[in-house]
Structure 1
């Protein structure tokens, strides 16, 4: 069963290209909009599982829609498409619980993988975006991690679930969760649903 989707972009060619591509791939596209006001109304009316939104749109930006959806506790997963490789926007998107961030120049190449990942309740952020952000040295706490904990983080960075990691490492789900708890403590990361996923993706170069 394909996830229900609405899309919004104020560039007609990009909107048409994305819409046609998703329909061709047999995705369940319910409707599309050319501005943030109409996009928000489509989310309220259709309650789609995924909303693919341009960040810069008239009336409401994609981020403003994400903020409103979070405040209203809507279950729609927001995916942003943009040309912006801006760390502040990326951090704002994370804080608003945005599920996806895809760069427009790679949209058609990445959107299927993004939808597939988001449909599994796992956020997807373009690797090109993460690579373009300021890469810092690994925090000194990183050196306290054991080789097993680093392997767990590496699998997390590849969007693996705890169950999948357990199968790959021949350990139980509970042992994986214990490792994750220890990593949170050692790296001093507040344990939220996706905190390790974001950390692992942002520091992927240190996990090789």
Structure 2
């Protein structure tokens, strides 16, 4: 059985379309809601593995739901669907450890890859968002790269492309376990504090320097 999922969107057609689409792909949709408060109550009650949330809904936004889940130690992985390309909104999502952040206009074509990535504990960000995010790397980021091996730099490049550990392993002809060990070494060298999505965020924000 695939991961349990709750879906919430205040646009009925979007909600129905996404629910029907994922159901057709045999995903386990355990609940749906048209407002944020109902969505949060479903998450508390059902504790799904994944919640796919519209970022702007009545009563509670997707970000507010994520904040409540974080505060109350609810480990549902949240995917936000949004029209918003603003840097400050994305930064807030990062602070709340949002696992997926995809644009609504690409939601149907991206959602399956997003869910697969999130299921493997790897964050997913719409590639279309990257040009809209400010470059925030510093001299210290560039210096940090000098600590990495050629293989580690290759792995960071693949991470920036939203590739999973098994996909990276296939590209480099090594085992997934070896990739995971490299990822751990990179996190330590870059001093990323072990956040679950810290390496992915660093890789996407600094991809122009490697």
TM-score by length of 2: 0.85
> Matches of residues 1-208 of structure 1 in structure 2 within 5 Å?
1-135=1-135, 139-142=141-144, 144=146, 145-157=148-160, 158-161=162-165, 165=169, 168=172, 170=174, 173=177, 177=181, 180-181=184-185, 184-185=188-189, 187-207=190-210
Question: How far did residue 164 of structure 1 move?
Answer: 5.4
CA contact (8 A) 1:152 1:176 kept: no
Structure 1 range deviating more: 162-171 or 111-120: 162-171
CA contact (8 A) 2:100 2:124 kept: yes
Runs of 4 or more consecutive aligned structure 1 residues displaced over 6 Å after TM superposition: none
CA contact (8 A) 1:31 1:42 kept: yes
RMSD: 2.7
Q: Mind listing any 5+ residue stretches in structure 2 that lack a counterpart? A: none
Q: Mind listing any 5+ residue stretches in structure 1 that lack a counterpart? A: none
Q: Residues 46, 200 of structure 1: CA spacing in aligned structure 2 closer, same or farther, 3 A cutoff?
A: same
